[in-house]
Structure 1
Amino acid sequence: MRAVYVTYYENGTYPTKTVGPKFTATWQYDQGPESQPVHAFPNAKIEINEIVNASTVQLSNLTSMPVDIAWTYGSGDVVASTLDTSGLSDLELNSNVCFDMFLDSDPDKAITTDNSTYEVMIWLGQFGLSTQPIGNTLGVKATKVVNETTFDLYDGENSNTGQKVFTWLAEGNTTDFVGNIGLLLDELSSYGGPTTSDYLGYIAFGSEALYVTKNVTFSVSELSLDLQTS
């Protein structure tokens, strides 16, 4: 079986423009080639224009990026009430849970996932030895604490796209996170990353699906993200 099943709940009117839908994804894939290990990325994409009335936001104008996230992963086809780490290990799950963002000095390129200069990822979950951030063999470049969660920074080049990839990896799976992830973006200019002149054009939250031996279910029960600007 090689399929992804996504179920959306309450996909209608939400209390604010910064609150997203609950969603789940049940999937199973065999291991892919090392050059392209990710089969799918079930996710919720944040519509930037719904928040700031523009398709992109320049980092010089971005004052804060508060998020409120809750997620789980479990074996089988149903939503797990808690993170089933032991069961997932038995199934050889290889996957992450992350924010995925793209940025560029050209706002038209910033809204694309393949033409932008920078990809910035924030991993709240990491499962399996094959699930590693780009540049992991080069070691940790920096460490940053956001609301009591410690993140380690890795960077490198995506050999398929030529993009510079920066990954903030939480030290331990963090199923509930509240904090300002804009603080992590602010750090990157010191390491050859996006600067205040660049534009943020794409944001999504989901799970990169690499492989697992039997069905697993990824669930997001809380998803809120705001872009506060000056």
Structure 2
Amino acid sequence: MSAGTGSQSSQVTSTSGNSVAWYTNYNWSGGNFNVKSYSNLDLRVGLGKRISAISSIPTSWHWTYTSASSGLVADVSYDLWLSNTAGTGGASSSSTYEVMIWLSTRGGAGPAGSQIGTVNINGVNWKLFRGNVSTWVVFSFVAPNEISGYDSDLKPFLTYLTSSQGVSSSQFLVQAQAGTEPFIGSARLTTTSYSISIN
């Protein structure tokens, strides 16, 4: 996360079974092309499995911008982390790959690296980007249009990477997050329901 000034607060508003409702409210300025934060829900169970041992990653995410400034630059995204070692976390020296799935991009927000193609997964033609951040490779799947209600399976994204982008199926999934990266502007992002599991 990079330089800028502003404030942000986040809060869980309710839970029901495995589903969570929450919001984040922020106002950021300066450093227009820099991510300021990643307020997110972070899965704590079912991690540390090799990609080859995962049968599905069902998820449901329903969200909305309750308010948003006209100059908002931000994304709404899943963030999956892979490693050669189980039991580690994301964004560390042990990270090998970061896999982002962007459900929304506003104001020209873009992922790391450059576009290397388009791939159809779960009926959506995602723009695929590849780049490098710190010591790991990042793959970003960017939806062509905003998806504010996503009920699907994330495993096919990993399957595609193992079959077409040289990612080994022996990699461990060590972290799975869902949240938003603001670059500049103000907004209130409200999630009415979110759930995810690893099978």
Percent of matched pairs sharing the same residue: 21
Alignment map for 1:86-97 (pairs within 5 Å): 88=68, 91-97=70-76
Alignment map for 1:18-167 (pairs within 5 Å): 19-32=18-31, 34=33, 37-48=34-45, 52=46, 55-75=47-67, 88=68, 91-109=70-88, 111-115=89-93, 116-129=95-108, 131-136=109-114, 139-146=115-122, 148-158=123-133, 161-167=134-140
Q: Within 1, Cα distance between the matches of 2:146 and 2:82?
A: 26
Q: Within 1, Cα distance between the matches of 2:28 and 2:164?
A: 35
- The unaligned stretches of length 5 or more in structure 2 are none
Match of 1:173 in 2: 146
Instruction: Please tell me the residue identity of whatever aligns with 1:58.
Output: R
- The unaligned stretches of length 5 or more in structure 1 are 76-87
CA contact 1:113–1:202 (8 Å) conserved in 2:
no
What's the TM-score once normalised by structure 2's chain length? 0.89
Q: Within 2, Cα distance between the matches of 1:193 and 1:207?
A: 28
Q: CA deviation at 1:33?
A: 6.4
Q: CA deviation at 1:45?
A: 0.6
CA contact 1:118–1:163 (8 Å) conserved in 2:
yes
Q: Within 1, Cα distance between the matches of 2:149 and 2:165?
A: 30
CA contact 1:68–1:222 (8 Å) conserved in 2:
yes
What's the TM-score once normalised by structure 1's chain length? 0.78
Q: Name the SS for the 1:60 alignment partner.
A: helix
Q: 1:193 to 1:119 in 2, by over 3 A?
A: farther
Match of 1:2 in 2: 6
| Structure number having the greater strand percentage | 2
Note the aligned Cα RMSD (angstroms): 1.8
Q: Within 1, Cα distance between the matches of 2:113 and 2:128?
A: 9
CA contact 1:118–1:193 (8 Å) conserved in 2:
no
CA contact 2:32–2:184 (8 Å) conserved in 1:
no
